[in-house]
Structures are given as C-alpha cells and as structure tokens.
C-alpha cells in the first residue's frame, strides 16, 4: 500500500536523538548492580585462599565517544568506544590464620559497546524496536586494594579480575536490552497512529510498512488518511506513489500527498460537515444589504410579488467532496457549491426559491504551527454555474454569493483550519526552523 504521508529522519536527526539517548543510557548504566564474587584459589607452596568481594557499587559510567549509524535494509547501529567506569566495594580474604578485609577501587577503561537495533511495526501500525545484537568488550581493568599484605592482593586480583570483566560485560548488555524494551519501545509507542481531530473526523497515521533504513535516512511510510468518526468507510480512491525530494539538510522531513488532503475532504463531506446555512442575522453591517426577498427582487422581480418583505435563508452544500491539487505554486481546488435559497414564511416553514450551482477557484496556504498543519483559504470569483427555478441575471447573483462566501463562510472555514491537524510526533518533540515547500 502506498503511503499518504511519509516521515524521513536524516542522519542529523538521528544524531540529535542519539545525544538524548546516550545521556539516558549513562544514567541507566550507573544503576547497574554487580553480584558478589566468592571463591577459592590455590597458591603454590602456600595453600588455599578463600576470598569474598561484596557491596560492589558502580559510582559512574561515562560514554564519551559514541555514534549512531544507518544500516541499509536492517536498522540502526550504536557504537560506543573508550567508555570508562569506576567501581568500589569491600573485600575479605582468609589464608590459614591470616585474615584481612578492606575496601578497593576499580577502574574499568577502554570499554567498547556495539548495539544493533531492529525496527519494525506491529499489527496496530505502531513502530517497534528491539535489540537484535549487543556486545561489550573491556580492554583494561585497574584495581587498588587497601590492606597490609600487598603480595597477597596481587595474587588475589589475578584470580578475580576475569570475573570482574565477564560480569560487567554481560551486565552492560542486560541493561541495554532492558532499556530498549522498557524505555525506548514505550516511547516510540507514544507516536499517535490514530488521532481524534474534532467531533467530526479523525486521522490515521498507522505504519503501512516497517521503517526502512537507507544509507542517508530512516524513512517511515504512514497511511495518512482522514476518516469520519460517525461512519468510517473505504476511501474511493487510492494513494499514488510518494517520493520525497533527495534533500538531507534538515533533521526531519514530512511529506504529505494530495491523497492525505483529499481524504480530509472526503471524511468531512461524509460526516456532513460541508453543509452551511446563512441567515440575515449572520450578515455583518459592512456588507451593505440584507438577506431578504426585497434585496433579491432586484435580480428576480417575481420574488417581491410572491414573497413580499420576507427574510431568506441560504443553504450551501457540496454535492461531492472537493478534490485538491498540489503543484509547485501551492494548493488549489475548484469546489462545486450548490446554493439553495429559501423564503422564511410567517409560520417559520421554508419555501424553496431557486438553486444556484457555482464553481469557485480556491487557493490554500499551508504552514506548520505547534506541531499542527494549519492553513487558510482564499476564494476567487465564482465561476459559471446554472440556476434552476427562475430565469435571473446569474452573474449578479454570483457576485452576491461571492460576498456571502468571503464575509461569512470563509471566516468559519479558516477558523477551523487555523486550529490545524496534528502531525505524527512522539511525546516531547517540538519542531523549529520549519520550511514548507510544494512539489508536483
């Protein structure tokens, strides 16, 4: 299935996310708990030595050098080098009648960690991440024991140093795997794959395929489809292939196709939201006329005879969902608008007067504000149409309808568009330095 919406995260965007993640991983590693080490070893010509290493405390774990890399068709790889850690604890040793105990400081240096992350999606269309591989290698361990018998400590250290190394190497990857599953995976799931927009419609941002890693970016294909909350039905048209321009200067790119916007039109039309009524009380004073049969009798003389001095109501509706076009110039559409005019009779019932079908030229301006796609419409002059019910000067009526649309209908639509539609953003993400471009 082709996406209606695409998100591209470039190397610059991954680097920024990586900076935040490494700081978090450092804190997680500092909480690492090492097990006590207990055992015996024999010293030639001396005998058996019993030792205990306890209360191991990892005071700090620093990851000064790290990078994140894209692995095409696989996922992401995080490489950490020259990491170091400080550990302290207590020791106790027994050799015949010799007993001693004390504390020690241990420095772990030149730690290398490699983490492979596999990206995917679940049945609900939410992104998933897991650790497909993790390896840790420690090149250097230095320890300082406090006590009287230096020669014994050196022998003692030779026995426990490999245990220190093996324990720490395995524990680091345990922390990494646990952190990915308990912290990174839940965070990715904050991506809103469905979002309620208002009382009429929602939007579907579910993934249509697992994220794809290329040499330059991580691309995520989303459904990008609006739907009516009252009755979700299949969209009667399909998304075309959507290819983002080969730009990689920014951290993140969002690509919205005409399918994305046209499903919005379809959803709101299906929900009955593209129906508007205009009465005289809604007309501002600066318009210069009233919505009544006296005003329209200048164009349709019969009205004054049949319905003298009666107020009118206009019902504007779209017979079908208007389709939007995207080009280098921007967004445009040519909706057909049916305008049914009624006379309001003394008993409040409505008497149909005429039906005017008009085509308007509408241009749209799109921007992004506070994580939402916002917009505004500008209506051109109403084009040719057909009037039913009376023979009348259509062009004069068209001019009047244009006034109604500009002063009443357009502000209502633009108020809604200014509220915007949410972009698919995980928690705590804010966008800056936003640039909007249009492509064919």
Nearest to 55 by CA among 103, 125, 11: 103
Instruction: Classify burial at 133, counting beta carbons within 10 Å of its beta carbon; exposed 0-12, middle 13-18, buried 19 or more.
Output: exposed
Whether residues 162 and 211 share a domain: the answer is no
CATH number of 128's domain = 3.15.10.10
Whether residues 135 and 104 share a domain: the answer is yes
Q: Percent of the chain at pLDDT above 90?
A: 38
Q: Within a 13 Å sphere around the CA of 141, how many CA atoms are in the beta-carbon half? A: 20
- Count of Cβ atoms closer than 10 Å to residue 439 Cβ: 12
Taking the C-alpha atoms of residue 145 and residue 54, their distance in angstroms, rounded to an integer, is 13
Whether residues 132 and 231 share a domain: the answer is no
Count how many residues are written for the chain: 440
pLDDT at 155 over 80: no
pLDDT at 386 over 60: no
| pTM tops 0.85, yes or no | no
| In the block, residue with structure tokens 């400081």 | 105
Question: What average pLDDT is seen over the chain?
Answer: 85
- Count of Cβ atoms closer than 10 Å to residue 263 Cβ: 24
The confidence score (pLDDT) of residue 71 equals: 93
Q: What residues make up the domain containing 34?
A: 11-189
Whether residues 266 and 409 share a domain: the answer is yes
User: Do 76 and 218 meet the contact criterion of CB atoms below 8 Å apart?
Assistant: yes
Query: Is 258 domain-assigned?
Result: yes
Taking the C-alpha atoms of residue 256 and residue 222, their distance in angstroms, rounded to an integer, is 10
pLDDT at 381 over 70: no
Q: Percent of the chain at pLDDT above 70?
A: 90
pLDDT at 266 over 70: yes
Q: 45: which residues sit within 8 A by CB, 6+ positions away?
A: none
Secondary structure of residue 176 in the 3-state scheme: helix
Q: 21: which residues sit within 8 A by CB, 6+ positions away?
A: 78, 184
Q: How many domains does the chain have?
A: 2
Per-residue pLDDT tens over the stretch 177-226: 999 999 999 999 999 999 888 889 999 999 999 999 999 999 999 999 99
Per-residue pLDDT tens over the stretch 314-353: 998 889 998 988 888 888 888 888 889 999 999 999 999 9
Nearest to 363 by CA among 323, 317, 330: 330
Structure confidence at residue 388 as a pLDDT band (50, 70, 90): low
The confidence score (pLDDT) of residue 127 equals: 94
Domain boundary among 133, 155, 189: 189
Structure confidence at residue 250 as a pLDDT band (50, 70, 90): very high
User: Do 247 and 253 meet the contact criterion of CB atoms below 8 Å apart?
Assistant: yes
């Amino acid at each position: 299935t082709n996406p209606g919406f695409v998100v591209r995260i470039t190397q610059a965007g991954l680097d920024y996310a990586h900076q935040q993640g490494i700081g978090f991983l450092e804190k997680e590693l500092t909480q690492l708990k090492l097990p006590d080490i207990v055992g015996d070893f024999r010293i030639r010509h001396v005998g058996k030595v019993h030792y205990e290493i306890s209360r191991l405390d990892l005071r700090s774990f620093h990851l000064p050098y790290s990078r994140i890399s894209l692995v095409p068709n696989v996922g992401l790889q995080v490489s950490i080098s020259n990491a170091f850690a400080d550990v302290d604890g207590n020791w106790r040793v027994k050799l015949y009648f010799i007993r001693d105990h004390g504390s020690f400081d241990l420095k772990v240096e030149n730690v290398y960690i490699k983490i492979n992350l596999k990206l995917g999606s679940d049945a609900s269309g939410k992104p998933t991440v897991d650790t497909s591989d993790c390896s840790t290698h420690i090149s250097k361990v230095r320890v300082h024991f406090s006590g009287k018998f230096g020669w014994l400590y050196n022998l003692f250290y030779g026995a426990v140093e490999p245990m220190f190394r093996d324990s720490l190497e395995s524990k680091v990857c345990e922390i990494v795997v646990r952190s990915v599953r308990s912290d990174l995976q839940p965070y990715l799931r904050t991506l809103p794959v469905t979002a309620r927009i208002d009382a009429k419609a929602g939007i579907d941002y579910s993934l249509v395929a697992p994220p794809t890693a290329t040499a330059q970016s991580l691309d995520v294909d989303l459904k990008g489809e609006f739907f009516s909350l009252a009755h979700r039905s299949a969209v009667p048209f399909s998304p075309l292939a959507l290819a983002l321009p080969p730009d990689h200067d920014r951290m993140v790119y969002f690509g919205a196709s005409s399918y994305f916007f046209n499903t919005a039109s379809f959803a709101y039309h299906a929900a009955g939201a593209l129906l508007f009524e205009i009465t005289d009380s809604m007309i501002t004073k600066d318009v210069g006329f009233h919505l009544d049969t006296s005003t329209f009798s200048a164009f349709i003389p019969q009205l004054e005879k049949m319905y003298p001095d009666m107020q009118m109501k206009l019902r504007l509706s779209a017979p079908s969902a208007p389709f939007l076009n995207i080009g280098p110039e921007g967004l445009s559409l040519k909706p057909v608008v049916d305008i049914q005019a009624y006379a309001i009779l003394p008993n409040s019932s409505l008497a149909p007067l005429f039906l005017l079908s008009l085509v308007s030229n509408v241009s749209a301006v799109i921007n992004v504000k506070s994580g939402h796609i916002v917009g505004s419409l500008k209506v051109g002059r109403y084009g040719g149409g057909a009037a039913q019910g009376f023979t009348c000067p259509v062009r004069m009526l068209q001019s009047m309808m244009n006034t109604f649309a500009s002063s009443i209908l357009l502000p209502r639509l633009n108020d809604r568009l200014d509220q915007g539609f949410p972009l698919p953003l995980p928690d705590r993400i804010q966008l800056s330095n936003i640039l909007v471009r249009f492509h064919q």
